[in-house]
Amino acid sequence: MNRVKILTGFVAICLTLCTETDMCAAAQTDTLSGGTSMTQEDINMVMSVFDGLQPYEIIGKADGFIMTGKSDEEIAQIAYYIYRYYRDSRIMGYDEIAIYVADNYFLNGRCRLADDDARLEMRLFADANRRSLIGMDATVLTMQDPAGNEVRFPEGDQDYSVLYFYDDECPGCQRMTPTLMQYLLQCDGNINFTVYMVYTQDDMERWTD
């Protein structure tokens, strides 16, 4: 049976990983040490050749590139620049590569980062994002329906779960919500799914109106 649940209480926790001062300092320094002339721009140019490949394909190439370093220091530098390239990538799913590099070269102690702040940022990024990688099970969310009842996601034995985040004053949501509801009404009854409609604001009166 298909179900639609209206929920609120979704809490997003934003972690401020660095101050403006830290960001300025990072922008002014594109090397971790003076032991090599390779820059972040060099790494970006090389790795951009692989844009469009699947993460597992790029990981193998990244490993090979990292091991071209002639010293432990240079290996760490190449790995760190590759991590930053994929940390900041706008291609969906490429955060998996950044987390792979973080886990397999730095957080396990294999390579050393001289900058403690950079290591902290890397750990925070990896820990905050590893559960949201493509293919991973979603973490359990506890929310509230209009009657005040607690609802947990995911729950039940449905084949599919859809999380739809909306704001009653969002023009895009105002266009999309009726379209979504129309689609749900027309869906084949043989598809077992639940739609969780999550209100992203904190105005109870507007939400229940």
Whether residue 199 contacts residue 206, with contact meaning beta carbons closer than 8 Å, is answered with no
Lowest mean pLDDT among 65-69, 81-85, 107-111, 186-190: 186-190
Is there a single domain that holds both residue 67 and residue 106? Answer: yes
Its domain, for residue 157, covers: 3-11+140-208
Query: Which tens digits make up the pLDDT trace of 13-39?
Result: 222 223 333 333 343 344 444 444 689
State how many domains the chain has: 2
- Distance from C-alpha of 86 to C-alpha of 195, rounded to nearest angstrom: 32
Confirm whether 107 is domain-assigned.
Answer: yes
Distance, in Å, from the CA atom of 92 to the CA atom of 51, rounded to the nearest integer, reads 11
Long-range CB pairs of 133-139, under 8 A, 24+ apart, other chains included: 133/93, 133/95, 133/96, 133/99, 134/92, 134/93, 134/96
CA distance 209 to 74: 60
Put simply, whether the predicted model's pTM sits higher than 0.85 gets the answer no
Higher-scoring residue by pLDDT: 9, 198:
198
Q: What percent of the chain has pLDDT over 90?
A: 42
Q: Is 126 among the domain residues?
A: no
Is 150 within the bounds of a domain? yes
Residue 122 lies in a domain: no
Decide if 153 contacts 143 (C-beta within 8 A): yes
Residues 160 and 200 both lie in one domain: yes
Q: Do 154 and 194 have their domain in common?
A: yes
Do 37 and 104 share a domain, yes or no?
Answer: yes
